[in-house]
Chain A
């Protein structure tokens, strides 16, 4: 019943919009080569499942590896940046600058560096998704309760102890916020990488576009979105399990 209540509200617009597009396309108000009927998209998925499934698997693998890389590198970078105010002032501006570089513009460079194939796609997923991990981890580590920092000082805790027993665990809710954003971005980065580096759902979109197969383009786009959603859900689940015990207190304070 609870699940039903959570699922029903977003389901209503979905059904309404899908049904109206179906109606508009079938009634000849919209040309199917501009916007395919939803039923045609679902049929395209079913018809091309062999190709699309393999592509989905490949994109998933690249996005996951890219995401894992940005998780570890991003958290490590944030810990380094938090180690001293000087280091932070020296390097953080470059992290911000790095984020503003559009991945689509540097994708050709990635191909030159890593060649055609999965390395380029992983690199692209990594480049797009690392910044939110750095930014959120850093702000989480830096916003540790000053009273608790005093407490650790009072008992002579070393910086390493303070990092692992206080700053890092205290930053976990913010780290997970960064990971949720990064998960979605990693999928986007992988698709962009595949446009240029080849392979996966990105290639399917690119090839289907040249063949005027709009239904197949939509089918691939839909699968890519579902992949992003699944990754987001996975991070949410891990975050809920990890923070289960202390989330209530975090909200109360």
Chain B
């Protein structure tokens, strides 16, 4: 069993752009260790800003974000909207990049990168270059790169938004399975209601302005999520609730 996830506590977090526009005006949120949280909201509501602050790529202007336990660089992984691979490196070297930057030596680095690639079903493509891969495969490399460090906090910023629906369905199921095995804390930012309801154990809906939380709901769906669930009326019910909160 891998290390359990980290817990997060946001206290009065505020982020102001250009000295006037408060993207997030005082947010309080607790995220338990090992939780799979979806953050929903319209474009420009501060979802990405929130995620960047949690990743410590951006600082709040007021308030604080506490991690329990506090940890090193290996703890957090970030997956962007596009794959953002290094085009001059093959799949294996791309997946091994975070380990390389953290100073992990050659042989264990290779082993861990291979293991991560195996988890996303890319074991056979290690020698390929990003230019030779489809969009879905590139995104899986990006996911493997994030998993290679065995993170305890996985942050995803609309990671599958640029992919076609079928690829997206596959990756949703794969991500959910990875989480069930590893139990890291996952924060998944999306503007897709169906994706949020399908993937997460808990969903928060942010308002258009100021990043207020309009709804905080525990998704009542089975632990294991397969594509069969997509036609399940219970998923439809969850989606309806989320949609109502967004349109409120």
Q: Which A residues lie at the B interface, using CB under 8 A?
A: 145, 147-148, 150-157, 161, 165-166, 169-170, 172, 245-250, 252-253
Contact flag A155-B101 (CB < 8 Å), given A147-B82, A147-B84, A148-B86: yes
Which of B72-80, B186-194, B196-204 contacts the other chain? B72-80
Q: Is the CB of A154 within 8 A of B55?
A: yes
Q: Which B residues lie at the A interface, using CB under 8 A?
A: 52, 55-57, 72-73, 76-78, 80, 82, 84-88, 97-98, 100-102, 129-132, 149
A231 to chain B, nearest CB (A): 25
B20 to chain A, nearest CB (A): 23
Q: Which residues of A contact B88 (CB under 8 A)?
A: 169, 172, 245-246
Q: Which residues of A contact B85 (CB under 8 A)?
A: 249
A148 to chain B, nearest CB (A): 6
Q: Interface majority SS on A: helix, strand, loop or mixed? A: helix
Which residue of chain B has its CB nearest to the CB of A172? B88
B73, B80, B82: which contacts A155 (Cβ < 8 A)? B73
Cα distance A172–B80 in the bound complex, in angstroms = 24
Q: Which residues of B contact A155 (CB under 8 A)?
A: 73, 97-98, 101-102, 149
Contact flag A252-B84 (CB < 8 Å), given A153-B57, A155-B73, A155-B101: no
Q: Is the CB of B82 within 8 A of A245?
A: no
A155 to chain B, nearest CB (A): 4
Which residue of chain B has its CB nearest to the CB of A243? B88
Q: Is the CB of B101 within 8 A of A250?
A: no
Q: Is the CB of B76 within 8 A of A154?
A: yes
From A148, A161, A246, A247, name the one whose CB has the most chain B CB atoms within 10 angstroms: A246
Cα distance A225–B60 in the bound complex, in angstroms = 59
Q: Which residues of B contact A147 (CB under 8 A)?
A: 80, 82, 84
Q: Is the CB of B78 within 8 A of A150?
A: yes
8 A-B pairs in the complex with CB atoms less than 8 angstroms apart: A148-B86, A151-B98, A154-B78, A155-B98, A156-B72, A165-B100, A245-B87, A248-B131
